[in-house]
Chains A and B, each alone.
Chain A
Amino acid sequence: MEVKDIVDLKTIKTDLSAKNKEEALQELAEVLLKNEYISDVEVFLEDIYAREAVGQTGIGNYIAIPHGNSEAVNKIGVAIGITQEEIPWETLDGNGVKGIILFAVGKENDGAQTHLKLLSLFARKLGNDEVIEKMLQSKNASDVQEALCN
């Protein structure tokens, strides 16, 4: 397995219509539900907001990484959304965000070591400015996957 296996084309939306954080999280959680990564949007988002309350998930460079451990998660994965316009978010550099990467991770992760490892490698990519720049210019899901996985 490789990082590419974590970045599911079906959970990437390059045309996110959200105008704010709540809409973005709702939209991406619904994508995760539709693709069976999570079993319940409401329960999942409650856990995501619990992490939001602890500290900023906007890491600068127009990227936010909402995440958390939730019982509503069936399998580890990420939903990625890109917006045309900057949306307001609590961020380290004071700018808004255009790329939102929503992490879905369960509370119990027995037997999920491989996926957790891939997720950590994926997270590292987000610390790379060139990767992020390329990702934000993506026109479609394949572009996003390519930016993050090469």
Chain B
Amino acid sequence: MKIVGVAACTVGIAHTYIAQEKLENAGKKAGHEISVETQGTIGTESELTQEQIAEADIVIIAADVKIAGRERFEGKRIIQVTTEIAVKSPNKLIEKAVEVVNQKN
């Protein structure tokens, strides 16, 4: 499965990046292709390409603030959670993503 995500927290210093790391690790561990963009104090990094978004089966948004460029995901399945959820239960979140994708098919 192909997953893209965006992480963004209130201050943009810590949770954003921890969520990115945890999600990417959990996704890869479960055998998926995953790429998570971060929107923090430093700006947007690991920006998702149009191709990555087009190919993605699902979008995981782990954010405590309004993210930039949400319109890029229009028409796609989106799971939206807080960064806390991504940090606390990354594996469960990936499982949930798989469930949602399977429901769709």
Instruction: Answer yes or no: A119 CB below 8 A from chain B CBs.
Output: yes
B56-88 vs A, CB cutoff 8 Å, 1 = contact: the mask equals 000000001000000000000000000010011
- Stretch in A26-34, A50-58, A133-141, A142-150 with 4+ CB within 8 Å of B: A50-58
Q: Is the CB of A127 within 8 A of B18?
A: yes
Whether A123 contacts B17 by the Cβ 8 Å rule is yes
Q: What string of 1s and 0s marks CB contacts (under 8 Å) between A42-64 and chain B?
A: 00000000010011110110000
Minimum CB–CB distance from B67 to chain A (whole Å) comes to 17
Q: Judging by beta carbons under 8 Å apart, are A60 and B87 in contact?
A: yes
Q: How far is the CB of A55 from chain B (nearest CB, A)?
A: 7
Tell me whether B25 is interfacial, beta carbon within 8 Å. Answer: yes
CB < 8 Å neighbour of B21 from A67, A113, A128: A128
B13 and A103 contact, CB distance less than 8 A: yes
Instruction: Name A131's closest neighbour in chain B (CB-CB).
Output: B21
Interface readout for A96-117 with B: 1 if CB under 8 Å, 0 if not? 0000000101000100010011
- In the assembled complex, the Cα of A56 lies from the Cα of B18 at a distance in Å of 14
- List residues of A (81-106) whose CB comes within 8 Å of B's CBs: 92-93, 103, 105
- Bound: A144/B64 CA distance, A: 30
Asked if A116 meets B18 with Cβ closer than 8 Å, knowing A60-B88, A92-B87, A123-B13, the reply is: no
Q: Tell me the B26-60 residues at the A interface (CB within 8 Å).
A: 38, 40-42, 45
**Which of B18, B25, B84 lies in contact with A123, CB distance below 8 A?**
B18
Q: A113-B42, A120-B45 are in contact. Are A92 and B88 (CB under 8 A)?
A: yes
Q: Tell me the smallest distance from the CB of B21 to a CB of chain A, in Å.
A: 3
B interface list, Cβ under 8 A from A: 10-11, 13-22, 25, 38, 40-42, 45, 64, 84, 87-88
Instruction: Give the 7 A-B CB pairs with smallest separation, nearest first.
Output: A127-B21, A123-B17, A127-B18, A92-B88, A116-B42, A124-B21, A127-B22
* 15 pairs, CB–CB < 8 Å, chain A vs chain B: A59-B15, A59-B18, A60-B88, A69-B11, A93-B88, A105-B11, A120-B38, A121-B17, A123-B13, A124-B20, A126-B14, A126-B17, A127-B18, A127-B20, A127-B22
